[in-house]
């Protein structure tokens, strides 16, 4: 009997009908799941990263090396794995770039934490240590590594865009595309009610057109729509446009499904048909009377209405995407109208619903006709038309351009940049390793583990570039250690200045010493040069990233790691077995 209970306890079976896994087993499982997810995206990280081909259950193919896209296409069963997938999405939504690195850091932190748990260190201690390390890392990064760029010159923005796209498909033409991205994002500058300057990425519409080469992509001032005018007889250019944005059908009114009209005189049938036609004509006249000369709608427009629009010299565009119309409404100051009925049940169309733009024109760009809304009244807009060989490369180009736009937007809004190429992670690694020794409590081990985990970024960069990672990381560490030793001590806000940071007593320095000191201080921006397999000053080389991206990466990675660390039991209920109710066993 005792043997049965022993078996049940080992198998983790509950009396509920399910399975219970706890302690070391579940932690190992969680680490395995997160490592598996990190390994999927690991080889796509950095400028020499490789692409992944994802094929879904219906055979749809996606070729990409964007971390968030890869993870969103995976079907992840394990709950801890899902946390990492959400993490990449969050990073993509908030910053737009750095999705792969955030997953790598989180998985590495979790792996180190699990090793500490096996050394009999309580998860709560590790979590406290990680949070301490994170706070100190963010403080050190903003005070010592981050550079405030007062007037962000065009060159800084170009560098940000170049760095963002260096690992993407358009990396080869980064000069061309970074120009385009910077022009696009600076042209949509807006100031909100609180006086804050914003650069909405959504105001840049990215369209894809097959054919030609990537460098024949275009940037157009104004909002471009992949539509054409509804009738060939219409004008293709309207200046001083007053725009009506509709989400309704401009087609002959038909009786709803299931509505029957019983008549006893055939002449009445004709009257009903006439009324059906006149209802929609009245609506069209109402919209035109309000002063609209350009009409966009998400639904259809029938020939009867088109004839009306042509006669009045108005431009009508049908079957537009709702998302596009929302953006046009925002840019021109229009209101999207989904019904003409007012509160009393009468049909009216108010002038206030119209938006304004300098002109709306249909132009032939490459092989396609496009509608361009130029000079919208409320917000400026820009459109990028990407050219490329096939669907897959165009999709990947669109993702790459979106990441670059987001990176430049974040830099413009926060105005702070940090060196790329693994420089930040190495600097934080050296600093936190040193700082851990000043923490006189058991959290010291967790802080040291956090410091080691950060090295996963430069290591993966070097490995993916087919370089000797041990050699390069050793060089990076020695440079950063030297730069931090020669820099002035930073008194800790909580601990007071630590003894080991005290500089030696001042002595007269020779000119050679002064030069060496200045050089050592400059080492703090050193990162990897992956093309030549050396270490160099990444700030001078123009490999830079927005500070916000790095801060968010660390914060999100720690939060995800903590969420998974807290789990010590997994209870999985068996699916309910639905059998034949007449069967005695219920199976």
* Rounded distance between C-alpha atoms, residue 440 and residue 107, angstroms: 27
Assigned token pair, 204? 């840049």
The DSSP 8-state label assigned to residue 96 in this structure reads S
The two beta strands, 18-22 and 13-14, are antiparallel
* Partners of 526 in beta bridges: 537
- Beta-bridged to residue 546, according to DSSP, are 417
Residue 227 in 3-state DSSP?
Answer: coil
Helix, coil or strand: residue 514: helix
Distance, CA of 286 to chain centre: 42
* Contact present, 351 and 400 (Cβ < 8 Å): no
Minimal CA–CA distance to 131: which of 491, 430, 492, 554?
A: 554
Structure tokens at 420: 């790329």
- What's the Cα-to-Cα distance from 185 to each of 165, 239, 547, 566, rounded to whole Å? 15, 25, 18, 41
User: Sign of the CA dihedral 414, 419, 424, 430?
Assistant: negative
Q: Which of 97, 403, 529, 537 is catalytic?
A: 403
Question: Considering only CA atoms, which of 384, 580, 457 is closest in space to residue 101?
Answer: 457
Cβ-contact 542, 162 below 8 angstroms: yes
Q: Is residue 142 flagged as an active site residue? A: no
Burial (0-12, 13-18, 19+ Cβ within 10 Å), 521? middle
Specify the DSSP element, H or E, that contains 516.
Answer: helix 511-522
The number of beta carbons lying within 10 Å of the beta carbon of residue 236 is: 15
Tell me whether residue 100 is one of the annotated catalytic residues: yes
Query: Quick check: 190 and 154 in contact, CB under 8 A?
Result: no
Integer CA distances (angstroms), 464 to 85, 279, 444, 456, 537, in order: 22, 66, 32, 12, 20
CA nearest neighbour of 168 among 40, 69, 37, 48: 48
Task: Report the chain's C-alpha Rg in angstroms.
Answer: 31
Name the 3-class secondary structure at 256.
coil
Helices (H) and strands (E) in the chain, counts: 19, 22
Q: What angle do CA 142, 400, 64 make, to 5 degrees?
A: 115
Cβ atoms within 10 Å, residue 395: 19
Describe the crossing of helices 79-94 and 547-565 by its angle, rounded to 10 degrees: 160
Phi and psi of 362, rounded to 5°? -100, 125
Encoding tokens for residue 54? Answer: 């994802």
User: Which residue among the candidates 64, 99, 411, 459 is catalytic per the annotation?
Assistant: 99
Torsional sign, CA 135, 137, 141, 143: positive
C-beta neighbour count of 13 within 10 angstroms: 14
Task: Determine the Cα–Cα distance for residues 355 and 292; give it in Å rounded to an integer.
Answer: 9
Is 66 assigned a catalytic role?
A: yes
Residues with a known catalytic role:
66, 99-100, 403
């Amino acid at each position: 009997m005792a043997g049965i209970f022993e078996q049940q306890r080992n198998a983790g079976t509950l009396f509920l009908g399910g399975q219970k896994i706890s302690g070391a087993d579940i932690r190992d499982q969680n680490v395995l799941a997160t490592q598996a997810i990190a390994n999927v995206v690991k080889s796509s990280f950095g400028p020499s990263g490789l692409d992944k081909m994802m094929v879904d259950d219906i055979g749809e193919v996606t070729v990409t090396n964007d971390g968030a896209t890869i993870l969103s296409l995976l079907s992840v069963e394990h709950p801890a794995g899902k946390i990492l997938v959400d993490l990449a999405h969050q990073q993509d939504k908030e910053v737009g770039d750095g999705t792969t690195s955030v997953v790598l850091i989180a998985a590495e932190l979790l792996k180190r934490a699990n090793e500490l748990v096996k050394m009999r260190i309580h998860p709560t201690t590790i979590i406290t240590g990680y949070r301490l390390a994170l706070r100190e890392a963010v403080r050190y990064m903003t005070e010592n590594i981050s550079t405030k760029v007062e007037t962000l010159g065009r060159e800084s923005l170009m560098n940000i865009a170049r760095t963002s796209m260096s690992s993407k498909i358009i990396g080869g033409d980064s000069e061309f595309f970074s120009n385009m991205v910077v022009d696009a994002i600076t042209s949509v500058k807006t100031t909100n009610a609180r006086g804050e300057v914003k650069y909405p990425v959504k105001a840049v519409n990215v369209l894809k057109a097959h054919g030609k080469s990537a460098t024949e992509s275009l940037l157009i001032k104004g909002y471009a729509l992949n539509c054409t005018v509804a009738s060939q007889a219409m004008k293709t250019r309207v200046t001083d446009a007053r725009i009506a944005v509709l989400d309704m059908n401009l087609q002959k009114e038909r009786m709803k499904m299931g509505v029957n009209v019983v008549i006893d005189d055939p002449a009445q049938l004709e009257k009903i048909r006439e009324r059906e036609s006149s209802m929609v004509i009245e609506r069209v006249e109402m919209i035109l009377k309000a002063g609209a000369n350009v009409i966009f709608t998400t639904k259809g427009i029938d020939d009867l209405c088109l004839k009306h629009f042509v006669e009045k010299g108005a431009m009508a565009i049908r079957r537009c995407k709702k998302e596009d119309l929302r953006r046009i409404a925002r840019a021109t100051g229009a209101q999207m109208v989904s019904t003409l009925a007012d509160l009393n049940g009468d049909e009216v169309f108010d002038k206030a619903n119209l938006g304004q733009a300098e002109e709306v024109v249909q132009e032939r760009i490459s092989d396609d006709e496009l509608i361009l809304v130029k000079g919208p009244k409320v917000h400026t807009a820009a459109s990028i038309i990407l050219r490329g060989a096939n669907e897959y490369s165009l999709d990947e180009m669109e993702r790459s351009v979106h990441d670059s736009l987001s990176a430049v937007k974040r830099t413009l809004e926060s105005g702070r940049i940090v060196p790329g190429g693994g420089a930040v992670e190495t600097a934080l690694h050296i600093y936190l390793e040193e700082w851990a020794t000043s923490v006189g409590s058991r959290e010291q081990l967790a802080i040291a583990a956090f410091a080691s985990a950060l090295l996963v970024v430069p290591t993966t960069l070097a490995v993916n570039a087919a370089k000797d990672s041990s050699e390069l990381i050793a060089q990076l560490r020695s440079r950063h250690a030297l730069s931090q030793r020669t820099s002035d001590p930073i008194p800790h806000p909580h601990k007071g200045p630590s003894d080991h940071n005290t500089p030696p007593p001042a002595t007269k320095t020779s000119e050679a010493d002064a030069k060496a000191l200045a050089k050592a201080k400059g080492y703090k921006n050193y990162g990897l040069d992956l093309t030549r397999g050396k270490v160099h000053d990444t700030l001078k080389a123009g490999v830079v990233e927005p500070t916000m991206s790095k801060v968010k990466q660390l914060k999100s990675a720690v939060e995800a790691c903590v969420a998974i660390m807290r789990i010590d039991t997994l209870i999985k209920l068996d699916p309910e077995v639905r059998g034949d109710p007449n069967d005695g066993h219920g199976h």
